[in-house]
Amino acid sequence: MYFQIFQGVNNQWYWRLRAANHEIIAVSEGYTTKDNCLHCIGLVMDTDRKTPVYNA
Asked if the structure places residue 51 within a domain, the reply is no
Digit-coded pLDDT (tens) for 1-52? 999 999 998 999 999 999 999 999 999 999 999 999 999 999 999 998 888 8
- Give the single-character DSSP code of 49: T
Q: Which domain holds residue 19?
A: 2-45
Q: What does DSSP say about strands 24-27 and 2-7: parallel, antiparallel, or unpaired?
A: unpaired
The residues with which 7 forms a beta bridge, in sequence order, are: 13
Instruction: Identify the helix (H) or strand (E) that includes residue 5.
Output: strand 2-7
**pLDDT, position 48:** 87
Q: pTM, whole model, 2 decimals?
A: 0.82
**CATH number for the domain harbouring residue 7:** 3.30.160.160
**Do the Cβ atoms of 29 and 16 come closer than 8 Å?**
no
Residue 56, pLDDT above cutoff 90? no
Q: From residue 3, how far is each of 7, 16, 30 by CA, in Å?
A: 14, 6, 15
